Structure formats: C-alpha cells, structure tokens
Structure 1
Amino acid sequence: MTDLFAREILPASTWNAAHAVDRITLDYEGRHRRRYRYRADGGLGFVLDLAQTTLLHDGDGVKLDDGRIVLVQAAPEALVAVTASDTDALVKLAWHIGNRHLPAQLSSERILIRDDAVIVDMLRGLGARVEKIVAPFTPERGAYAHAHDDHQAPAHPFVFVAGQAHGH
C-alpha cells in the first residue's frame, strides 16, 4: 500500500471542519513537527511531510495528497495557570518564565506553562498564584514564525518562549 502524504496545512479559519474525513488528537509535542508518520483517531494513516517544522494548531486541517483533510485537535495536557495581583506583576512573571526558556501561552489574565514543580515553586516565591489545570497547550509563536510560513526565514526553526525567540 502506498503511503498517504500531507504536505499542506489549512489554518483553522480557512476550511470547514465538517468536511474532515478523520481527526488526530495530539499534545503540543505531537503538533510541533516537520516529518512524522501519524495514525488518526479513526485509523487513517499518513505521513506529515512539510518543508519546515511547523506547529499545528487546534482546528487546523492537514490536507492529504488525495485531497482529503484530517482535523487537528489539541489534546489536553497537565499545565499550570499562572496569575498575579495585577498586570505589572503578570508581566514580570512572564519575563521570569521567558528568562528560563519555557514555552508559554499568554493572555492578559494568565500565563499557561507545562507543569514543572521547580518552576511552580519559583513562581510562588515571586508572588504568583498558580493553579494546576488540564487543557490544550498552544504556546506563543515567535516573530520569525510568520516568516517561516512564507518561506522567507532562515533555514532553522524558531520558537517563542515568553519574550524571546530562540533557534532550535
């Protein structure tokens, strides 16, 4: 049997998810790939084969070479919701998280990070309120991520870690 390949990602807002033939539920690591063999939740197998490492977002479509589309679903994972007494304190916490090179999902109300006991203790020591939650995790993309999508960036991928872009 010939492998099905997926070489195109359809952003969540650009296609109708009702047309998906299958779905694939992945955590953050599983959604951050360039080339990988997947088995979708309904059993459909395919090889993701992209030009560069890409973060697949919840609701994106993976377009197979035969035209069918597989829905990407972000799997819930163990996270910590970090909050603070005010915006200034939250910004300072974001700086400390970024200074430790941690992927972070940012909003004006909270910062989501992966659960890590050492980091949680550090954040509490800095005055943060922390709550363990289970939710999908989609950390911020760096400034260079958009250039990658346009094939105009350097050959190595970048990831945003709360305030800093880093090549990996």
Structure 2
Amino acid sequence: MIIEKIVGNVDEISTSGRHIERVYVSSDDLVKRIQRVTTDHGKELGIRLKEPRDLIDGDILYMDERNMIVISVTSDDLLVIHPTTMMQMGEIAHQLGNRHLPAQFEGKVMLVQYDYLVQELLEQLEVPFSREERKVKRAFRHIGHSHE
C-alpha cells in the first residue's frame, strides 16, 4: 500500500470502535516525505506524500470503518532546559542559536536533542536542566541559514 496523503490526526478524529495499527518512527523520520515503514502488525507501507509537509505524532495514514494506521513517534534523548529568568532564557537561546541547534518549546521549558557539549554549556552557565527520554510531537527542524 502506498500512502499519498494524511487522513487526519487522532487528536481531531475519534478512534473509538476501530482497530489501530501503529507505525513507530523516530522524530528524524517525521521530515521524510518518502519512506518505507512497517506497522506493529508487520504490514509494509510506502509513504510518498504529495504535499510538502512533515508527519506529526498521531497522523492517520489509513482509515476505514474498522481499522486505522497511525504514526507514533519513539522517544528521544533530550535535554529539558528550565531557565529561571528571562535573561537566562535569552542567553541559552542565543548560545544554541549560534550552534544552529533546533529547539522546541513546551510551556516554560526548552527541548533540545541530547548533546554532551550542550550539557557542558548548561552546566557552565548554571542553567537548570534535566536529561530525559521524551516523545515529541513534531520533528526537530533545522532552519536553513548561511553566514555569507
């Protein structure tokens, strides 16, 4: 089966009464419009999205009256940064921006993929953080930029 469009997302469409098969992907794979995947029931699928969009945790690849195939993102090794002041947030955001590291925000915390150099930086700047295995809904996306 080739999937060319996303039906919807489980946050918007009810799953009740349907059997759910899951496709487990890493957050890095969410940006791939073309890929081969296998469901947790062993069914092979090709994904070839016609529209230029990233996959999101909970996206429904297929749905009929009785079945759904849903994207589930596996956990990432993350640094969860808990700045205590606006100054601290600005400093760490500036430092991470200079390194072109993609970040995500959830409430009052900043999430970045684990990197021992970033951990050392956070310790040096005395910014509170924790290292956690956590599931993100969207891909960490690098922003295209060059220093010319």
Question: Which position in structure 1 is the counterpart of 2:47?
Answer: 48
User: Which structure carries more strand by proportion?
Assistant: 1
User: Which structure carries more helix by proportion?
Assistant: 1
**CA drift at 1:8:** 1.1
Question: Which position in structure 1 is the counterpart of 2:118?
Answer: 119
| 1:7 aligned onto 2:4 | yes
Give the Cα separation in 1 of the matches to 2:144 and 2:138: 14
Give the Cα separation in 2 of the matches to 1:31 and 1:50: 12
Give the Cα separation in 2 of the matches to 1:91 and 1:140: 23
Give the Cα separation in 2 of the matches to 1:52 and 1:103: 23
Q: In the TM superposition, what whole-angstrom CA distance separates every residue of 1:113-158 from its partner, at most 9, and x where no partner exists? A: 11100111122222311211001134578xxxxxxxxxxxxxxxxx
Structure scoring higher RCO (CA < 8 A, sep ≥ 6) equals: 2
Q: Which amino acid aligns with 1:34?
A: R
After superposition, residues 141-152 of structure 1 pair within 5 angstroms as: none
Question: Which position in structure 2 is the counterpart of 1:32?
Answer: 31
Identity within the alignment, %: 18
Give the Cα separation in 1 of the matches to 2:112 and 2:35: 25
Q: Please give the TM-score of this superposition, normalised by the length of structure 2.
A: 0.79
CA RMSD of aligned residues (A): 2.7
Q: Please give the TM-score of this superposition, normalised by the length of structure 1.
A: 0.71
Q: In the TM superposition, what whole-angstrom CA distance separates every residue of 1:34-72 from its partner, at most 9, and x where no partner exists? A: 1001001111111000135532222111137xxx63111
Which stretches in structure 1 are left out of the alignment for 5+ residues? Answer: 142-158
SS at match of 1:55: coil
Number of residue pairs matched?
142
Which stretches in structure 2 are left out of the alignment for 5+ residues? Answer: none
